[in-house]
Amino acid sequence: MDGLKLSVLAGASVVLIATAVLTPAGGGSSTLTVKQPRRADLVLIPGGKIEVGDNASQADERPAFAYETQPLLFDRTPVTVAQFAAFVADTGYRTEAERIGTAGVFDHESDQWILVKGADWRRPQGPDKQAAEFNHPVTQVSWADADIFCRSYGARLPTEFEWERAARLGQTPDGHVFTAADPPAMADPRVLNVWQGVFPIYDEGADGYKLTSPVGAYGAAPSGLTDMAGNVWQWTASWYGAYAGGGKIKRHVPAQRVQRGGSFLCDGHVCQGFRVTARSGVSPDTALMHAGFRCVVEPGRAKALVGQIALR
C-alpha cells in the first residue's frame, strides 16, 4: 500500500487510498477451508421496502430511492478479534496488511493518516502499541480479507442497501436512527462510540473509549444488532459511486468499496458517518485502524460453520 494519499469523501471521513492492489492469498481463491464453526450469533433481519439515501444530506447520498430487501441473517456484532484469530488459527491466513508490511494509522501528533510498519489486526496502531483486545472489532483488514473470511464460512458481506435496511430498524437501544435532520452534536456518548471534543486535536473520551470499544458495549438496537453506529466503519459488498436512480450506481474511478456506519474517529461537526445513510468509499486493498466488517447469510443457506442463529 505504498503511494497512499489523503482523501476526503463527501465530508464523511478521512481515509487512506491505496494505489497498489494485491491478489488475495491462495491465488485469488474466494474461500479457504475452515474446520471449526464460528462462535457468532446471527440475527434475522426481515426483508422490506425502504428509502435508501437522504435528499437533505451529502451529494453521494442522493437522490433517495425506494429499494426492497430480502430477509437476511446478520452477524449480531462486527467480527471480533477473537473470531478473526480463530479463523487465522484454522487456515493460516495472512492479511493484506501483513503481507504488505504496513497499514493506515491516524497519528494524533501530526493529526493525519500515516502508514505504520508492522501495524496489523493484532496490533492495529503498530508493533510498539497495545495489542487488539479479543472482544473488540477486528480492524486493519482490507475488503479482500473481510470477503474471504465471510465466504469461507458460507456467508458474505452485506450490500450497502442491505446494511442500510438493518440500520434503519434502529441504531441505538432506544431505536433511534441517526439522520441528517439531527443536530451535529447528536452523538450521545452513552449510546455510541464516536469522537467527543475538537477533532482532531482532542478527544475527551466521554463515551469511555478513545479507540475501539468492546462489541455490544452500548447494548443492542431493537433489531437485535449492535454497533451499527460508531465504533468501526464496516465493509460492504458494494462498489462505491454516485446514485444513478433506481438503485443503480455510477462506479467511482479508481474503484472503491463502500463502508458504512462511522467509527470512533467520527466527530458530529466534521464526520457524521454514523448517520444511517452516510457512505464512505475506500480502495479495497486499504487496511485502517477504524474499519472492520460483519457477515450476512440468506436464511436458507445458513450452515453449521457460519454460527448460531439467535432468537434475539
Check which CATH number belongs to the domain holding 210 and give it: 3.90.1580.10
Supply 274's cell numbers.
454514523
- Spell out the residues 6+ positions from residue 62 whose beta carbon is closer than 8 angstroms to its own: 53, 54, 55, 243
Residue 24 domain-assigned?
A: no
**Averaged pLDDT, 94-113:** 94
Band the pLDDT of 186: cuts 50, 70, 90.
Answer: low
- Percentage of residues in the chain with pLDDT exceeding 70? 89
Tell me the pLDDT tens digit for each residue of 228-251.
999 999 999 999 999 997 788 998
Q: Name the residue type at position 265.
A: L
Q: Which residue has the higher pLDDT, 28 or 259?
A: 259
What's the pLDDT at 35? 96
Determine how many CB atoms are found less than 10 A away from the CB of residue 82.
Answer: 17
Tell me the pLDDT tens digit for each residue of 130-140.
999 999 999 99
**Averaged pLDDT, 110-129:** 96
Residue 261 DSSP code? S
Collapsed DSSP state (helix, strand, coil) of residue 81:
helix
Residue 47 domain-assigned?
A: yes
**Averaged pLDDT, 42-67:** 96
Position 288 pLDDT exceeds 60? yes
Residue 26 domain-assigned?
A: no
Position 182 pLDDT exceeds 80? yes
**CA 294, chain centre distance (Å):** 7
Band the pLDDT of 25: cuts 50, 70, 90.
Answer: very low
Position 145 pLDDT exceeds 80? yes
Residue 170 domain-assigned?
A: yes
As a whole number of angstroms, the distance between CA 117 and CA 108 comes to 17
Beta strands in 208-287 (DSSP E): 233-239, 241-243, 249-251, 257-260, 280-282
- Torsion angle (degrees, nearest 10) of CA 164, 266, 173, 160: 10
Q: 277 in the Ramachandran plot: left (φ > 0), alpha (ψ -120 to 50) or beta?
A: alpha
Query: Which structural domain range is residue 108 located in?
Result: 5-18+38-309
Position 16 pLDDT exceeds 60? no
Number of domains in the chain: 1
Position 268 pLDDT exceeds 90? no
pTM equals 0.91
Residue 33 domain-assigned?
A: no
Residue 30 domain-assigned?
A: no
- Percentage of residues in the chain with pLDDT exceeding 90? 76
What's the pLDDT at 19? 32
Position 13 pLDDT exceeds 50? no
Position 102 pLDDT exceeds 90? yes
Burial class (CB in 10 A: 0-12, 13-18, 19+), 26: middle
**Averaged pLDDT, 267-284:** 92
Residue 107 domain-assigned?
A: yes
Residue 28 domain-assigned?
A: no
Band the pLDDT of 184: cuts 50, 70, 90.
Answer: low
Position 28 pLDDT exceeds 70? no
Helices 81-91, 143-152: inter-axial angle, 10-degree rounding = 70
What's the pLDDT at 205? 84
What's the pLDDT at 3? 32
Which has the closest alpha carbon to 32: 148, 147, 155? 148
Mean pLDDT over the full length of the chain: 89
Beta strands in 70-119 (DSSP E): 72-75, 102-107, 112-117
What's the pLDDT at 246? 76
Position 289 pLDDT exceeds 80? yes
Tell me the pLDDT tens digit for each residue of 187-199.
677 789 999 887 8
As a whole number of angstroms, the distance between CA 255 and CA 157 comes to 17
